[in-house]
């Protein structure tokens, strides 16, 4: 069974649009997201275009700042400081990856934690770790948990969740979110022994390892819910390019209880959760 990320994302955006309208009527505030793109990476340009379009569709203000590839780190941080001080801007996002001469960690740290809608700032990581309400949480992990809830129901208590991958962007934050849902959480990675056996124990399996079709059917418990975060481009036998996940979809689909397809699974939820974070940041600015 496919877990439809496009449909779930649309429902979330529809709900956000209602809340955006209410915020405008009650407080006169229009949530505003500013996206900064450095250079002309084609994939980043497409991604930013989709963010801008969906931001505007739910009634938010969307601003885009395009900077040349030779922009210095100091110049970029200067832009961020200006946006941090601008009260009309509620969310700031710097599209990654950045050119090699710019330190991504320094840039992320320069964004105000209250406007860090990517949820990457160390202060937001700490808020997530502490389970603080209103924390700005990384978007892909949020989307993973919402998709698991969509399939299994709101209560995930007692489920054993196994996450393959320990990145700061997906693996660690999704583990924290699932702990908050009262799951038992195992984080597996490249050094995990008997990885297949560990995965076989999972009621919820989150694959975020970055290896095309890595997870096979014999790794999966019958009836498990699989959230596939991977996006990998492979070449087919016909010489065409194809996007696949970290899970071998066709091998696994008949055995699992539900699986997110690639594309059309976690991806749409990532942008929807970015909009959710922007609305949260706008609401918090009222206080």
Residue 149 annotated to the active site: no
Query: What is each CA distance from 212 to 39, 231, 243, 246, 254, in whole angstroms?
Result: 28, 8, 9, 5, 19
Q: Max Cα separation, the chain?
A: 57
The question of whether 228 is a catalytic residue gets the answer no
Catalytic residue among 4, 51, 115, 172: 51
Choose, from 118, 203, 228, 248, the residue flagged as catalytic: 118
User: Residue 154 — φ and ψ, nearest 5°?
Assistant: -65, -35
116 and 124 Cβ atoms separated by less than 8 Å: yes
CA atoms of 73 and 234, how far apart (whole Å): 34
Contact 96, 140 (CB under 8 A): no
DSSP label at residue 263 = S
The residues that bridge with 233 in the sheet, in sequence order, are 243
Active-site pick, 4, 54, 79, 95: 95
95 is catalytic: yes
Closest CA to 124 of 76, 172, 81, 184: 172
Name the CA radius of gyration of the chain, rounded: 19
Q: Which residues contact 276 (CB under 8 A, 6 or more apart)?
A: 12, 16, 139, 142
Instruction: Please give the positions annotated as active site.
Output: 51, 95, 118
């Amino acid at each position: 069974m496919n877990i439809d990320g496009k449909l779930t994302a649309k429902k979330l955006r529809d709900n956000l649009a209602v809340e955006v309208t209410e915020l405008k009527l009650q407080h006169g505030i229009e949530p505003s997201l500013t996206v900064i793109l450095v250079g002309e990476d084609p994939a980043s340009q497409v991604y930013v275009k989709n963010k801008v379009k969906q931001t505007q569709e739910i009634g938010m203000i969307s601003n885009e700042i395009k900077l040349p590839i030779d922009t210095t780190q100091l110049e970029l941080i200067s832009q961020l400081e200006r946006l941090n001080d601008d009260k009309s801007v509620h969310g700031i996002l710097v599209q990654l990856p950045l050119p090699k001469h710019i330190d991504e960690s320094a840039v992320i740290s320069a964004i105000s934690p209250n406007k860090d809608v990517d949820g990457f700032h160390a202060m937001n990581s700490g808020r997530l770790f502490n389970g603080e309400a209103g924390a700005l949480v990384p978007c892909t992990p949020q989307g993973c948990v919402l998709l698991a809830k969509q399939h299994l129901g709101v209560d995930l208590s007692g489920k054993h969740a196994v996450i393959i991958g320990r990145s700061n962007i997906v693996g660690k934050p999704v583990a924290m979110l699932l702990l908050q849902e009262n799951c038992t959480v195992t984080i597996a990675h490249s050094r995990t022994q008997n990885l297949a056996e560990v995965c076989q124990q999972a009621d919820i399996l989150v694959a975020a390892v970055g290896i095309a079709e890595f997870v096979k059917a014999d790794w999966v418990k019958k009836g498990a819910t699989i959230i596939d975060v991977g996006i990998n481009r492979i070449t087919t036998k016909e010489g065409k390019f194809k996007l696949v996940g970290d899970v071998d979809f066709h091998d696994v689909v008949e055995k699992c209880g539900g699986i997110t397809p690639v594309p059309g699974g976690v991806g749409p939820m990532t942008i929807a959760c970015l909009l959710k974070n922007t609305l949260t940041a706008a609401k918090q600015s009222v206080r």
